[in-house]
Structure formats: structure tokens, C-alpha cells
Amino acid sequence: GAVVSQHPSWVICKSGTSVKIECRSLDFQATTMFWYRQFPKQSLMLMATSNEGSKATYEQGVEKDKFLINHASLTLSTLTVTSAHPEDSSFYICSARTSGVSYNEQFFGPGTRLTVL
Amino acid sequence: EDQVTQSPEALRLQEGESSSLNCSYTVSGLRGLFWYRQDPGKGPEFLFTLYSAGEEKEKERLKATLTKKESFLHITAPKPEDSATYLCAVQKGSSNTGKLIFGQGTTLQVKP
């Protein structure tokens, strides 16, 4: 149980284009989902927290107009990187928090490697 | 300031050589401490949640313990497949969103 998927697993795009990444909780309902960014040999950096049906809460320094987050249902959240540039190249990981008994635990997706040329 | 510090940054062990990883934390009210394992190019895999000082949890060769200031992840007789980065994260008591504060991780390499 508690499986989170991400799609795509990797994407290469040209500078100036937008890229959408999907995060799905496959076998549970996630009231809260989180989006992280991870640079090589570094730990996870929280970008934003999203709750189903409401606006995402962004961490300080994260541009909300550049990283659009939509949490349209209890099993799906999307991250859109708008007008991507090479500095946006990174490993993006989502996690989902269950609403059941183990509500404190977060389960992570496999990550999406974004390369902007 | 809330802070999570893991040590050592890197650890090399021979197969069968037991050791411990440390996670020290400073947060205003701990709601939970989490251990994750991350393999290169993959997302973190959940291992344990600890909620109160004195609590211990085990899974195969791994055992996690918690005190009021730190947590240890003990690895008994490790195997090469235990090689990974181990991440520690804490959740504050005041957090209603479940936001986690991560340490920098300990990269473990187990040689056969």
C-alpha cells in the first residue's frame, strides 16, 4: 500500500517551454501533497504544499507564477514549470500524506528528472 | 531555528560491519521523526516513524531509536544492498500540514 507515482520519469525540453509533471497516489486518498526539488548530492528542498481543492502554499523564495501547482482531486496533483530555463533543470519529487490512521507519514514518488536545454 | 543535522555525511563499511547513523534535531516541539532510504535517481523510501523518546522500531537489519535530542539508525551486519543515502526528517508539533524538515543525509556504502 501507499504507492505514489509520477509521470513522466524524465523529460527534456527547450528553454522557454512549459512542462507538466503529474503526481498520483495510487491506493490511498491524499489530502495533502508536497513538491520537492533535489540538486545532485543534496537533500530535498520543499517547494510547496498543496491541499485538495485549495491554493498551494509556497516556501519562501519559490516563485508561484513559475511553478504552478494544482491539486484537483484527492489522488492527483500537478506541477507545471512555466517558461522553463536551464537553471530549472533538477530532480523533482512529490510526496503524499495519507488521511488515514498513519496520517503523519509521507510517501514519495519516484521523481522526475527535468533537463532544460 | 529549526534544524536537523545528520552525521557522518558519508560512511563506508565492510559487509557485516555494524554501525550507527546519527540524526540530531532542534525543533520547537517534535511531532514525529522519520527515516527514509534513497537510492540514486529515485524517490525516498519510507522506513520508520518515531514519535516519542525511548521509542524503537526495527525492520530487517535496521533499528531506529529516538531520544529527546537525536535519533540513531543502527545497521546490523550490513549487506551491499544496504548501500544508499539515509535521510532523517522531523515534523514540528505546530505543523498541521505535515511539513517535514530534512537533514542532509548520510551516504552509506557497504563493500562486499
In chain B (112 residues long), the average pLDDT of successive 10-residue segments reads 93 97 92 94 94 95 96 97 97 77 96 96
Give B110 to chain A, closest Cα distance, Å: 18
Beta bridge mates, B22: B7, B72
Distance from CA of B36 to the nearest CA of A (A): 10
Which grid coordinates are listed for B69?
535530542
Minimum CA–CA partner of B31 in chain A: A104
Is 70 exceeded by the pLDDT of residue A99? no
**Residue B96: per-residue pLDDT:** 67
Shortest alpha-carbon distance between residue A22 and chain B (Å): 14
Residues in A closer than 8 angstroms to B33, CB to CB, are: none
> Which are the contacts of B33, defined by CB distance < 8 A and separation ≥ 6?
B23, B25, B49, B50, B51, B66, B71, B88, B89, B90, B91
Contacts of B43 in chain A (CB under 8 A): 4, 6, 93, 95, 108-111
Q: pLDDT value at position B31?
A: 87
Subunit contact A44:B99, Cβ cutoff 8 A: no
Q: Which residues of A touch B99 (CB under 8 A)?
A: 34, 46, 49
Region for B91 from its dihedrals, namely left if φ exceeds 0, alpha if ψ lies in -120 to 50, beta otherwise: beta
Note whether B46 contacts A111, CB cutoff 8 Å: no
Asked if B104 lies within 8 A of A97 by C-beta distance, the reply is no
Q: Is the pLDDT of residue A102 over 70?
A: no
Amino acid identity, position A107:
F
In this predicted structure, the answer to whether residue A101 has a pLDDT above a threshold of 60 is: no
How many contacts does A have with B, using Cβ atoms within 8 A?
57
